[in-house]
A and B are shown apart, each in its own frame.
Chain A
Amino acid sequence: MTAALLFDAGLCLLVLVVAFSAVAGRGLFGAIAFFIIYGMLIALAWLRLEGVDVALAEAAIGAGLTGMLLIGAWSMLKQLGVSGLPGGPSVPLRIAAGAVSGLVALALAATVLALPDGREGLSPAVAESLGRSGVDNPVTAVLLNFRAYDTLLESVVLLIALIAVWSLTPRAVWGGVPGLAQHARSDGVLSMFGRLLPPLGLVVAIYLVWAGSSQPGGAFQAGTVLAAVWLLVVMAGLYDEPPASSRNLRLALVAGPGVFLAVGAVGAAFGVFMGIPEGFAKPLILSIEFALTVSIAVTLALLVAGRPRRPA
Chain B
Amino acid sequence: MTAPLPGAFPALELLIVLPLAASLLAILLGGRLAPRIVLLLGPAMLVVTAVLAFQIQTQGPVRVEIGGWEAPLGIALIGDGLAGVFLVLTAIVMTAVGVFAQKPFGSEGAETTESYTFWPLYFAMWAALNAVFCGGDLFNLYVALELLTLTAVAMVAYGSTRAALRYLLFALAGSLAYLMGIVLLYSATGTLDIELLARQDTIEATRMVSGALMTAGLLAKTALFPLHGWLPPAHGSAPAPASALLSSLVIKASFVIIVRIWFDVMPDVAGTVFVQLLSILGAGAVLYGSLLALRQTRLKMIIAYSTVAQLGYLFFIFPLAGGAAAETPWAAGAWSGGMFHALAHGLAKAAMFLAAGLVIEALGHDRIDDIKGIARALPLTMFAFGLAAVSLMGLPPSGGFLAKYLMLTAALADGQIGLALVMLAGGLLAAAYLFRPVNRALAGDYVPEVAVVTYWRQLIPLGLALLSVALGIISEPPYDLLQVGRSKVAVEGIDD
What is A's interface to B at a CB cutoff of 8 Å? Answer: 107-108, 110-111, 114-116, 119-122, 125-126, 129, 145-150, 152-154, 156-157, 159-161, 163-164, 166-171, 174-175, 245, 247, 250-251, 253-254, 257-258, 261, 264-265, 267-269, 271-276
Contact = CB atoms under 8 A, between A and B. Distances in A.
Interface string B261-294: 0000000000000000000000000000000000
Given A156-B23, A268-B10, A268-B17, A148 B150 contact: no
Contact of B24 (A164, A166, A167, A261): A261
Contacts of A163: 27, 117, 120-121, 124, 154
Given A153-B140, A160-B151, 9 more contacts: A154-B143, A156-B147, A168-B157, A250-B28, A254-B25, A257-B20, A258-B24, A265-B21, A268-B10
A267 B64 CA distance: 12
Contacts of B68: 272, 275
A264 B16 CA distance: 10
Interface in B1-24: 4, 6-7, 10, 13-14, 16-17, 20-21, 23-24
B187 A125 contact: no
Contact of B187 (A115, A148, A152, A267): A115
B91 interface: no
B209 interface: yes
Nearest to A267: B67
Contact of A273 (B27, B30, B64): B64
Contacts of B368: none
A267 B188 CA distance: 33
A168 B151 CA distance: 12
A54 to B, nearest CB: 14
B150 A161 contact: yes
Contacts of A160: 23, 120-121, 124, 147, 150-151, 154
Q: Give the interface SS of chain B, mostly helix, strand, loop or mixed.
A: helix
- Contact-residue size bin, chain B (C-beta under 8 Å from the other chain): 35 or more
A151 to B, nearest CB: 9
Contact of B66 (A120, A148, A161, A265): A148
A171 B114 CA distance: 8
User: B21, B27, B140, B204: which has the most chain A beta carbons within 10 Å?
Assistant: B27
A253 B27 CA distance: 8
B463 interface: no
A268 B73 contact: no
B180 A264 contact: no
A129 B74 CA distance: 11
Contacts of B137: 150
Contacts of B188: 115-116, 119
B180 A275 contact: no
Contacts of A250: 27-28, 30
Nearest to A257: B24
Interface centre among B17, B137, B188, B204, by most A CB within 10 Å?
B17
B355 interface: no
A168 B154 CA distance: 8
Contact of B67 (A120, A161, A275): A275
Contacts of B66: 148-149, 273-275
A273 B12 CA distance: 10
Nearest to B115: A174
B150 A264 contact: no
A153 B143 contact: yes
Q: A-B pairs with the 9 shortest C-beta distances?
A: A164-B154, A167-B117, A273-B13, A268-B13, A254-B24, A274-B67, A174-B113, A272-B68, A149-B66
A275 B21 CA distance: 17
Contacts of B296: none
B67 A157 contact: no
B67 A145 contact: yes
B69 interface: yes
B67 A164 contact: no
Interface in B126-184: 127-128, 131, 137, 139-140, 143-144, 146-147, 150-151, 153-154, 157-158, 161, 180, 184
B328 interface: no
Contact of A157 (B24, B150, B153): B150
B456 to A, nearest CB: 27
A169 B151 CA distance: 15
B75 A149 contact: yes
B117 A122 contact: no
A168 B159 CA distance: 10
A156 B150 CA distance: 11
B150 A164 contact: yes
B211 to A, nearest CB: 12
B206 interface: yes
A129 B117 contact: no
Given A163-B120, A250-B28, A271-B6, A122 B190 contact: yes
B17 A122 contact: no
A267 B10 CA distance: 10
Given A115-B206, A268-B10, A261 B27 contact: no
B209 A107 contact: yes
A187 to B, nearest CB: 38
A17 B188 CA distance: 29
Contacts of B483: none
Contacts of B143: 150, 153-154, 157
A264 B117 contact: no
A157 B147 contact: yes
A258 B187 CA distance: 33
Given A157-B143, A250-B28, A167 B150 contact: no
B113 A153 contact: no
9 contacts: A120-B190, A125-B73, A146-B69, A147-B74, A150-B143, A157-B143, A171-B113, A273-B13, A273-B77
Contacts of A148: 66-67
